[in-house]
Amino acid sequence: MTARVPIRRFVSALGEALARGDGYIMGAYGQNPRTGHLDLALTEVKPAWRPGGWYYSQYTDPAQRAQALKWREQCARVWDCNGLAEGVYQLETGENINSKARYNYADWCDPKGEGMIPAAYRVAGAAVFWGERASKIQHVAYLFEPVEPGHTAGDWWLVEARGVMAGVVKTRLSQRRPNYWGLMTKYFD
């Protein structure tokens, strides 16, 4: 049976990533951007995480590559969108689930649906997704807290790893308008 992490721990980790000003690197799930290790105490640098390594050279646009290298120098951890959930899960359980946002929606979420997340499912840790169809989902963010404290049926703050130029940011559900949603009950309670 798959271990399940308390959703309150996941939401707390989202807040920690936001408060630290964590960055974004495609394919990352919370690693130290200088070494590539999830364990921040390890100091050996994995080759793919050196400044000329794959995690940085994947960005061919000069501005994006410069921002990726800036995250390397300034952040404790880097993530990509689904990496926020994957990394927290691995930090809590030791299991690497190595997935993508579209598989999060397809395999992790129950219940789930199309359109704006209904008020009844607006809870901290719920996932919201963007894609032209379910099999083409390309981004995920997570409900963090209601914009108006205690008003759970209204607008929510999202935490998302929004891209190399933005990093981990807090945005509003009403402004981002995702078109799929789900509760990640396979890996979180």
- The DSSP result for the chain, as a single string, is ----B-HHHHHHHHHHHHHHT-EE-TT-EEE-TTT--SSTT--PPPGGGSTTSHHHHT--SHHHHHHHHHHHHH-S-EE-TTHHHHHHHHHHHS------HHHIIIII-SSEEESSPPGGG--TT-EEEE-SSGGG--EEEEEEEESSTT-TTS-EEEEEE--TTT-EEEEEHHHH--SEEE--TTTB-
* Over residues 109-122, mean pLDDT: 98
How high is the pLDDT of residue 64?
98
Q: Is 145 exposed, middle or buried (0-12, 13-18, 19+ CB in 10 A)?
A: middle
Domain boundaries, the chain: 7-93, 101-182
Q: What percent of the chain has pLDDT over 70?
A: 99
If pLDDT is split at 50, 70 and 90, which confidence band does 1 have?
Answer: low
Average pLDDT for the chain = 97
pLDDT tens-digit profile of 47-103? 999 999 999 999 999 999 999 999 999 999 999 999 999 999 999 999 999 999 999
Question: Is residue 2 very low, low, confident or very high in pLDDT (cuts 50, 70, 90)?
Answer: confident
Predicted confidence (pLDDT) per residue in 123-138, tens digit: 999 999 999 999 999 9
| pTM as predicted | 0.96
The pLDDT of residue 169: 98
